[in-house]
Structure 1
Amino acid sequence: MGLQDQLIFANSLARVGVKVAREKLRPASSGGDSVPLKVEGLTEEWLTEALCRDHPAAQVTGFELLAGSEGTTTRRSLRIEYNEAGVDAALPTAVFSKSAPRFLSRVLVGITGIGAGEALFYETIRRHLEIGAPAGYFGRWDELAWRYLVLTEDVSVTRGATFPREGIQVDRSGAECMIREMAHYHGAFWEDPRLDEWTVLADPYVWQLALNRRAGCDLGAIAAFRWLTAEIPHQLRSRKSEIRGALMRSLAVNVRGPKTLLHQDTHPRNWFKVPDGSVYLYDWQAIAKGNWALDVSYALSSVLDTADRRSWERELLELYLDELGSAGGNPPSFAEAWLAYRQQMIHGFVFWAYTSAVNRVREVHPEDVTRTIVARTAQAMVDLETLDAID
């Protein structure tokens, strides 16, 4: 982190710290356009403004705040009751919330930009997509206080969704479902001018550069080589010095191609499964605008067992190109797509090697799961000669 970045970061921390201190003395407004301090402070009036905006006669008459979990963000489920107008309008009764009430949480969502991204997705973008992601009901981000809240469909209730600890495990039909899902949101926003209008959206190069500067992502990934000796093949370990430069070159290549909406974090723990076996993405907090191959490479290399990836990846890529064209995109030739697929493998590997480094301070994903994903993505880089494909 350079001196200028350090000064900006220090100023941001001080500003957010002052905001948190003031909020304890004088709570922020609880109007529908505001970002509540925490879900425990929600009221029927606030929820009415947030959930009944398109139905003036509808009102929230009661709600129950259920158990949840704490991590980078605070996650709680809500059960909502409405008056007759709300019931007639079929307004959502099973709602899932994510927020960042604590100082450390705000720092994490602020320096990475994930709070702003997820609020944008669920407030604005989700409604334009015919995909299986949770429906979005409300999303707000306070740029000064680094405070945010999103309200979404609680798919565990509405669709019987499951979220395995180790992430989804898919057979061939599940892998094809993943491919169709990515093709659908990529096609829907293919070269869409709104991607530039939504200023929260950065491209993957800018996004990664900020993460490197503010959180040491690339350096953390390199440090993890010291203990990930069983997971990283020797062909990759022997070229450790090339990883950081190759990462940024691959992203520079990415942003030169046609751009669309990217999820950017398509690993197995960010997919959920419904009873019919279909799988869909959630956790849309790292969204960006860039080339399709980043999402597809990351998903196939991290979700699929190595043997399955090797057997299926060419046919899955052909399926992706067909589905992309049907969804509104302009697919490249298979040869062009195969090269892009190979070039973008490094993104997922660096994310998960860095995750292993972060786990040594505070576990953000189970370390055994982390190591499995590192091993899969590292082997994919070796199999597909990613470092040589970038140059």
Structure 2
Amino acid sequence: MADRAETFNPAPLLLDTVLSAAWLGRALGGAGDPMDVRAVHIVDQFGPSCTKVRMELEFGPSAPPGLHSAYCLKGFFGDPGIGYLKSGVQLTESAFYRDCAPTLSMRLAECVHAGSDEARGAGVLLMKDLITAGARFLTALEPYSARQAESSLDQLARLHAASWGDAVLAKWPWVRSKARELTRYQVVPAARVTELMRGERGAPLPDAIRDGARIYAALGRIADRDTALPHCLIHGDAHAGNMFENADGCGIVDWQLLQRGHWSLDVAYHVAAALTVEDRRTHEQDLLRLYLDRLAAHGVTPPAWDEAWDRYRESLAYGMFLWAITIRVDPPVIMEFNRRLGTAVADHDSFGRLGV
């Protein structure tokens, strides 16, 4: 076993390596002997930054009968992918599937290998293929109904309830709060955010909220607020493009922005990003009540309605921040998410509620 640990790289940076029969056999073997993988057939491949590869494996005669053969591999490889390693997001996602996922009663991809290389910031996931199992991945802008939101909010309630409070979160010391970091380090400077929001992405919104300094200040107030509120694991990027749907309901993928924080960040972002403006206005109070009911059903005493509604309306500023600073995404998605999230912020005077 010592030789194996020295020779097997759990998170290589070369795509050719992780798509080789030899590496996949070692990954599937876990701590035991390698699986006898004889051939790798690529079904589909997505990029360009984070690479996802769907594949079908052929096993040799020494492999146990009845092995699952359809998998999806995910990681940063080559250029420009490895340029994202310094962000640490792939380490976060690998750690989620390794440490957190086994404790959760959520619909998730079944991960059979969650490898990481801390020194390089690399992470490689090998998961059973959801599409082959009958699931459908949703897209960021496809119609998303209130009924679907009920299902996905139940999934978020399961995540939050299972990780509620500092005593539970202590099991995962590597999970950090991110609102303060995002405010402090300004990956996209406030002046540049103003420039972006004064352009096409902010055109449907009131001028008063198209200001980078104010957008950052609102996130800073959320960070201040949340120091006195209960924390849990939050997905951090729960728009419809990170959802899948099968016969049982909605599930959640893409855990790169996993963090500890207040439940309202996930709920407000999800409702305002996934639904159209009109549907959000019609259904958001009912959906928040449903979320609170599901939180109770999963074992947590929910906040009173007035408290929950106030936190929801403030937390809409988090989602707006994420999409105000977004650059490397298809422009139609950026435009629509800024319209949806910015309109929600304007509808509820989220900045005013936060005192900015």
What is the identity, as a one-letter code, of the residue corresponding to 1:288? Q
Give unmatched runs, 5+ long, in structure 1: 1-27, 359-363
Answering whether residue 113 of structure 2 is matched by residue 138 of structure 1, we say: yes
Q: Are the structure 2 counterparts of residues 204 and 147 from structure 1 closer, same or farther at C-alpha, using a change threshold of 3 Å?
A: closer
Residue 48 in structure 1 maps to residue 25 in structure 2:
yes
Match 1:161 to one of 121, 136, 146: 136
Which stretch has the larger CA shift, 59-68 or 381-390? 59-68
Which of 138, 147, 155 matches 1:173?
Answer: 147
Determine helix, strand or coil for the equivalent of 1:155: coil
Q: Deviations over 1:138-179 (max 9, x none)?
A: 112222223221112221211231333x44422221111121
Alpha-carbon deviation of 1:343?
A: 1.2
CA offset at residue 254 of structure 1?
A: 2.5
Is this contact kept in 1: 2:15–2:78, CA < 8 A?
Answer: no
Cα gap change, 1:92/1:257 in structure 2, threshold over 3 Å: closer, same or farther?
A: farther
Counterpart Cα distance in 2 of 1:123 and 1:61: 27
- Classify 1:376/1:187 alpha carbon distance in 2 versus 1 (closer, same or farther; 3 Å): same
Counterpart secondary structure, 1:344: helix
Partner of residue 352, structure 2 = 388
Q: Match for residue 294 of structure 2?
A: 323
Aligned partners of 1:231 and 1:372 also within 8 Å: no
Equivalent position of 2:262 in the other structure: 291
Contact 1:38 1:99 in 2 (8 A): no
Residue 244 of structure 1 is aligned with which of 196, 216, 220? 216
2:278 to 285, 288, 307: 307
Partner of 2:206: 233
> Is the 1:255–1:291 contact (alpha carbons within 8 Å) kept by the matching residues of 2?
no
Which of 58, 68, 71 is equivalent to 1:81?
58
| Alignment match, 2:341 | 377
2:313 is equivalent to residue 336 of structure 1: no
The reply to whether residue 190 of structure 1 matches residue 164 of structure 2 is yes
Q: Is the 8 A contact 2:180 2:220 kept in 1?
A: no
Are the equivalent residues in 2 in contact too, given 1:346–1:381 (CA < 8 A)? yes
Q: Give the CA RMSD over aligned residues.
A: 2.6
1:97 to 73, 76, 79: 73
> Does the Cα contact within 8 Å between 1:259 and 1:292 map onto a contact in 2?
yes
**Separation in structure 2 between the aligned mates of residue 242 and residue 209 of structure 1, nearest angstrom:** 11
Q: Which amino acid aligns with 2:111?
A: G
Does the residue aligned with 2:170 lie in a helix, a strand or coil? helix
Quick one: distance in 2 between partners of 1:54 and 1:192?
32
SS at match of 2:136: coil
Residue identity matched to 2:94: A
Q: How many pairs were matched up?
A: 349
CA gap 1:258/1:202 in 2 versus in 1, 3 angstroms: same
Return the offset for 1:84: 7.2
Unaligned regions of 5+ residues in structure 2, if any? none
CA shift, 1:58, in A, is 5.5
Contact 2:190–2:212 (CA under 8 A) maintained in structure 1: no
Is 2:242 aligned against 1:270?
Answer: yes
Determine what percentage of the aligned residue pairs are the same residue.
Answer: 24
CA contact (8 A) 1:217 1:351 kept: no
2:12 to 15, 36, 46: 36
Matched residue, 1:9: none
Aligned to 1:346: 317
Instruction: Tell me how far 1:269 sits from its aligned partner.
Output: 1.6
1:18 matched to which residue of 2?
none
Cα displacement (A) at 1:85: 8.1
Asked whether the 8 Å contact 1:273–1:279 carries over to 2, the reply is: yes
Aligned partners of 1:134 and 1:155 also within 8 Å: yes
Counterparts in 2 of 1:234 and 1:321: CA distance versus 1, 3 Å:
same
Query: C-alpha displacement at 1:350, in angstroms?
Result: 1.3
User: 1:38 and 1:266, CA in 2 relative to 1: closer, same or farther beyond 3 A?
Assistant: same
Cα 1:57–1:333 change in 2 (3 A) is: same
> Following TM superposition, by how much is the alpha carbon of 1:72 offset from its aligned partner in structure 2, in angstroms?
2.1
CA drift at 1:207: 4.0
Counterpart in the other structure of 1:257: 229
Query: In the TM superposition, what is the alpha-carbon distance from 1:194 to its structure 2 partner?
Result: 5.2
Q: With structure 2 as the length reference, what TM-score do the two structures score?
A: 0.88
Partner Cα separation in structure 1 for residue 158 and residue 323 of structure 2: 26
- Equivalent of 1:205 in 153, 156, 179: 179
Which 10-residue stretch deviates more, 312-321 or 55-64? 55-64
Deviates more, 1:297-306 or 1:39-48: 39-48
The equivalent residue for 1:64 is: 41
User: Cα 1:300–1:220, aligned 2, differ >3 Å: closer, same or farther?
Assistant: farther
Contact 2:85 2:120 in 1 (8 A): no
CA distance in 2, matches of 1:285, 1:241: 26
- Equivalent-residue separation in structure 2 for 1:313 and 1:138 (angstroms): 38
